[in-house]
């Protein structure tokens, strides 16, 4: 393997892989992706993988998510079948007081071109007959959906490799130095020299930044999920909290805990998750669960993506975000534009690391 | 084992598919699982665990004791959701997406 590259991407999760793939569409040589373990070991392999736009606030962030969701059909054409389904997304509410909030949401989204419907109880039950008949209503958006995260990352990697991208896995970066305008990236296996360096460390972004003396304020937020046995197809929509995969299994969970890097599953949260499942979809009572798992979200301090150039460091870029599955097609596209053209087709100034300074 | 030998009965994954994953630098059971679905079915790797370790050993030369075990998770053996549910509708760690929508002076931010 070479030791000199045009661009090194640190992090082979959904974000790093998307950047590497999109870069490789423009130039075929000199791209290396480093992963401390193997892609999907971390966050990107432990997610329900909704491609989710509606209910994201403020509306400018929803708009950013929408542009990414819009890229998915085209992406699947390019890299292959990633089991992307634009099912439409349903967020049920059970208290009448939430209807006003739902209407406010719909109003503010209409201005940016995202259509959300506020459904009555009858309309929800018509769309999704399995929902608890005590539901008060739901917000609905047709742009939401889901994807198979394993297929997504595998296909990103295959397409990138076909375009000449090299991967080195089980190869943790231990130090980074800047010398004469190039970066020297030392890892468990080797020292690499590169012109452009992209930090896509996800949950480990803070640690990665420390190697360069940069503060990348990303924290960890645990989510726990339960998986049922394959059931007959019966859920029509991606429901905020659960969704049915193509093979019939239902993934359930929407929990948030500050637990650092601890990926345990815990009985209390799993029980709460089971309660949510039977509260939303009562017929799931009789479904068997085969597994529980937990994943750690990469959560920037203010909740929004950190994207773009690292201020004061030429040719150094960062991409650290939660909702990496939803945002990966757009982030890959925009970082490629930024690196090769110096500007992006969708503004990302708002997401600069400089906002934390 | 030949290429068509079924390694994972639950998900019907054969030896050739495991070898292909190793060809893409997968080194542990869990790497292979995420690429192929091997071990993701109802038995949760109880049947294929040692067969996969054999294939990793053959392909990479790693000794069996160096190959990490897959991560086992509850419930180990399938159980019904109603067994876990306590029927409470009070949630703390589990959130509702609607609750996360932030209003400022009665308007969405």
Average pLDDT over residues A87-110: 93
B26 vs A169: CA distance, rounded Å:
9
Query: Which of chain A's residues have a Cβ under 8 Å away from the Cβ of B80?
Result: 285-289
Confidence band of A78 (pLDDT split at 50, 70, 90): very high
| Within-domain flag for A68 | no
Q: What's the total number of domains in chain A?
A: 3
pLDDT tens per residue across span A291-305: 999 999 999 999 999
Which token pair is A16?
A: 């790093």
Q: Are residues A20 and A136 in the same domain?
A: no
Classify A342 in phi/psi space as left (phi over 0), alpha (psi -120 to 50) or beta.
left
Distances (CA, A) of A161 to A72, A336, B25, B85: 20, 17, 12, 45
CATH of the domain at B44: 1.10.10.1100
Confidence band of A80 (pLDDT split at 50, 70, 90): very high
Average pLDDT over residues A133-156: 97
- Interface test with chain B among A54, A82, A274, by most B beta carbons within 10 Å: A274
Q: Give the gap in angstroms from C-alpha A269 to the nearest C-alpha of chain B.
A: 7
Q: What would the DSSP string read from start to end of B35-82?
A: HH-TT-STTTTTTTHHHHHHHHHHHH---GGGSPPP---TTSS-EEHH
Q: Are residues A203 and A225 in the same domain?
A: no
Q: In this complex, which of B73, B85, B101 lies closest to A274 when CB atoms are compared? A: B85
* The pLDDT value given to residue A28: 78
Q: Are residues A206 and A337 in the same domain?
A: yes
| Within-domain flag for A56 | no
Nearest chain A alpha carbon to B11:
A247
pLDDT tens per residue across span A308-317: 999 999 999 9
More confident residue, A234 or B106: A234
Q: Which domain holds residue B42?
A: 6-66
| Within-domain flag for B103 | no
Q: Give the gap in angstroms from C-alpha B49 to the nearest C-alpha of chain A.
A: 16
Query: Taking CB atoms and an 8 Å limit, are A285 and B73 in contact across chains?
Result: no
Q: Which domain holds residue A343?
A: 4-47+150-217+302-356
Q: What's the total number of domains in chain B?
A: 1
Residue B103 has pLDDT above 90, yes or no: no
- Please identify, among A253, A277, A300, the residue that sits at the C-terminal boundary of a domain: A300
Which token pair is A85?
A: 């389904």
Mean pLDDT of chain A: 96
Q: Are residues A208 and A270 in the same domain?
A: no
> Could you tell me which residues come within 8 angstroms of residue A180 by beta carbon, excluding any fewer than 6 positions away?
none
Q: What sections of chain A are H helices per DSSP?
A: 14-26, 59-79, 98-110, 121-127, 149-162, 205-210, 267-280, 324-341
Let me know: does A245 contact A85? Beta carbons within 8 Å: no
Query: Which of chain A's residues have a Cβ under 8 Å away from the Cβ of B25?
Result: 38, 167, 169
* Phi, psi angle pair for A241, to nearest 5°: 135, -30
Percent of chain A with pLDDT over 90: 93
A223 vs A266: CA distance, rounded Å:
11
Residue A203 has pLDDT above 80, yes or no: yes
Residue A108 has pLDDT above 90, yes or no: no
Query: Which of chain A's residues have a Cβ under 8 Å away from the Cβ of B32?
Result: none
> Could you tell me which residues come within 8 angstroms of residue A162 by beta carbon, excluding any fewer than 6 positions away?
none
pLDDT tens per residue across span A50-71: 999 988 888 899 999 999 999 9
Query: Taking CB atoms and an 8 Å limit, are A55 and B101 in contact across chains?
Result: yes
A257 vs A148: CA distance, rounded Å:
24
Q: Which residue has the tokens 């975000």?
A: A321
Average pLDDT over residues A309-326: 97
| Within-domain flag for A295 | yes
Q: Are residues A189 and A224 in the same domain?
A: no
Confidence band of A29 (pLDDT split at 50, 70, 90): confident
pLDDT tens per residue across span A225-234: 999 999 999 9
CATH of the domain at A225: 3.30.9.10
| Cβ neighbourhood burial of A285 (10 Å; 0-12, 13-18, 19+) | middle
| Within-domain flag for B85 | no
Closest CA to A258 of A292, A216, A217, A299: A299
Query: Taking CB atoms and an 8 Å limit, are A278 and B98 in contact across chains?
Result: no
Is the peptide bond preceding residue B75 cis, with omega within 30 degrees of 0? yes
Q: Are residues A288 and A330 in the same domain?
A: no
| Within-domain flag for A79 | no
Nearest chain B alpha carbon to A155:
B35
Query: Which of chain B's residues have a Cβ under 8 Å away from the Cβ of A289?
Result: 75, 78-81, 84
Q: Are residues A206 and A309 in the same domain?
A: yes
H or E segment to which residue A179 belongs: strand A173-179
* The pLDDT value given to residue B109: 66
- Chain A interface includes B23 (CB < 8 A): no
Q: Are residues A212 and A310 in the same domain?
A: yes
A123 vs A99: CA distance, rounded Å:
14
Q: Which residue has the tokens 């509260």?
A: A279
Average pLDDT over residues A197-214: 98
Q: Are residues A209 and A320 in the same domain?
A: yes
Residue A144 has pLDDT above 90, yes or no: yes
- Please identify, among A79, A113, A141, the residue that sits at the C-terminal boundary of a domain: A141
B79 vs B82: CA distance, rounded Å:
8
Q: Give the gap in angstroms from C-alpha B74 to the nearest C-alpha of chain A.
A: 6
Residue A34 has pLDDT above 70, yes or no: yes
* The pLDDT value given to residue A27: 87
């Amino acid at each position: 393997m070479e030791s000199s590259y045009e661009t090194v991407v640190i992090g082979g999760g959904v974000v790093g892989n998307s950047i590497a793939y999109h870069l490789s569409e423009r130039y075929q040589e000199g791209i290396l992706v480093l992963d401390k373990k193997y892609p999907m070991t971390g966050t990107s392999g432990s997610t329900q993988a909704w491609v989710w736009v509606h209910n994201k606030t403020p509306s400018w962030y929803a708009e950013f998510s929408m542009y990414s969701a819009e890229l998915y059909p085209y992406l699947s054409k390019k890299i292959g079948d990633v089991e992307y389904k634009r099912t439409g997304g349903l967020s049920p509410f059970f208290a009448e007081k939430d209807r006003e909030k739902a209407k406010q949401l719909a109003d503010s989204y209409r201005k940016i071109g995202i259509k959300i419907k506020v459904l009555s109880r009858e309309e929800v039950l018509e769309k999704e007959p399995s929902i608890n008949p005590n539901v008060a209503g739901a917000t609905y958006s047709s742009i939401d959906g889901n994807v198979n995260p394993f297929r997504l990352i595998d296909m990103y990697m295959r397409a990138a490799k076909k375009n000449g991208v090299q991967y080195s896995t089980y190869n943790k970066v231990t130090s980074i130095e800047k010398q004469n305008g190039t970066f020297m990236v030392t890892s468990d296996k080797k020292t690499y020299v590169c012109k452009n360096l992209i930090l896509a460390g996800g949950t480990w972004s803070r640690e990665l930044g420390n190697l360069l003396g940069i503060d990348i304020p990303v924290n960890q937020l645990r989510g726990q999920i339960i998986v049922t046995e394959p059931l007959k197809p019966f859920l029509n929509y991606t429901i905020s909290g659960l969704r049915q995969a193509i093979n019939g299994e239902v993934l359930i969970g929407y929990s948030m805990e500050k637990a650092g890097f601890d990926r345990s599953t815990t009985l209390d949260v799993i029980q709460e998750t089971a309660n949510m499942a039977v509260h939303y979809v009562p017929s799931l009572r009789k479904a068997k669960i085969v597994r529980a798992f937990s994943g750690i979200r990469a959560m920037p301090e203010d909740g929004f993506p950190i994207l773009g150039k690292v201020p004061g460091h030429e040719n150094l870029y960062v991409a650290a975000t939660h909702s990496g599955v939803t945002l990966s097609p757009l982030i890959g596209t925009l970082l490629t534009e930024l690196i090769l053209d110096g500007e992006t087709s969708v503004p990302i100034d708002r997401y600069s690391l400089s906002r934390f300074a | 084992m030949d290429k068509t030998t079924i390694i994972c009965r639950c998900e019907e994954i054969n030896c050739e598919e495991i070898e292909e994953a190793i060809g893409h630098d997968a080194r542990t059971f869990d790497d292979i699982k995420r690429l192929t679905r091997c071990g993701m079915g109802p038995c949760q790797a109880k049947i294929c665990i040692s067969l996969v370790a054999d294939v990793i050993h053959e392909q990479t030369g790693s000794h069996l004791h160096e190959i990490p075990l897959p991560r086992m998770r509850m419930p180990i053996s399938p159980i019904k959701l109603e067994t876990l549910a306590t029927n409470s509708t009070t949630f703390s760690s589990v959130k509702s997406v609607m609750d996360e929508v932030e209003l400022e002076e009665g308007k969405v931010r």
